Structure 1
């Protein structure tokens, strides 16, 4: 009886002490996050430099009336439609053409090279730069707009293969040819 009691106590204590919750593994090396902070500072400085470059171009171009977008780029209308109020909305299908130039006006990508684009607003997983995706939403059918994009709205760190270096701001002239409204809108 005494042996059974000792075995029971031993068995109970073994079970109680072995039922410990899982412990989180600690990293072997801890990072202070300084790389991320330094990268953010570099990107802010790069943006300020590009912004000054773009604003210098805007100041020297007295023929156009530039508009600043909420999305972080600048644009002006080459052809404006003041009669239509319809801009593309989520899910609408648009057909447009565009070109890409550097800020000096050197052609990087012609309209012919880019081809006619068929794009569904905010749904198509297409290789469009974020500036174009945002800019098209501001346009009406038949309009032509020239956009000035800082590099983070254009090709950014990656550039455009064999045509445009990294972190280069660009300008793009876009002609929105058609807007096909979806039944959901």
Structure 2
């Protein structure tokens, strides 16, 4: 009888629902929201800086890109074919800071050959080449998130540094 009583009590207490476990950390995740806010502020500052740079050079007609950069085509060509994903391109380029101080010359960087949107290069070059035709040269004002971002290149390009990159599209192979 005593054994039956113990079994019945055990069954009564053992047949309840499992309580879901709660996370140990009850703090709200604010890091992501703070990071997003900082990045939005940084972008606004960089866009205002681009506006100042453009006003200093009124002879160039700068256009806005949906990707967030600005550009001006220096040598427009009749050929309207522009690179698309998978095309093989060869470019010559130089990198300057936003105040036209040379960081990397064309000689230091050499010509770059790559497949558009298929190779690991900085987004600035991938996106910038898409607005050029063969033989055209463009001046691009890129926000830091399209260049070397929050790390820089550990040499001449500082973290979160917007850049002025001059790109010439030398060849395009479909």
**Shorter-normalised TM-score: what interval?**
0.7 to 0.9
Could you tell me how far 1:170 is from its partner in structure 2?
0.6
Structure-2-length-normalised TM-score: 0.86
Q: Any unmatched runs of 5+ in structure 1?
A: 1-5
Q: Which runs of 5+ in 2 are unaligned?
A: none
- CA shift for structure 1 position 155: 1.2
**SS in structure 2 at match of 1:30:** coil
Whether 1:175 aligns to 2:171 is: no
* Cα offset, 1:24, TM superposition: 6.2
Q: What is the Cα-based RMSD across aligned positions, in Å? A: 2.1
Query: Which of 69, 87, 92 is equivalent to 1:97?
Result: 92
Per-residue Cα deviation, 1:79-108 (whole angstroms, up to 9, x for no partner): 111x21211111110011111100111111
Alpha-carbon distance between aligned partners in 2 of 1:24 and 1:175, rounded to the nearest angstrom? 60
Q: Is structure 2 residue 56 aligned with structure 1 residue 63?
A: no
Deviation at residue 25 of structure 1 after TM alignment: 5.0
Deviation at 1:174, TM superposition (A): 0.4
In the alignment, the residues of structure 1 paired with residue 21 and residue 105 of structure 2 have an alpha-carbon distance, to the nearest angstrom, of: 54
User: Does residue 123 in structure 1 map to residue 118 in structure 2?
Assistant: yes
Offset at residue 160 of structure 1 (A): 1.7
**Are 1:150 and 2:143 counterparts?**
yes
Are 2:41 and 1:45 aligned? yes
Matched residues, number: 166
Partners of 1:148 and 1:99 in 2: CA distance = 12
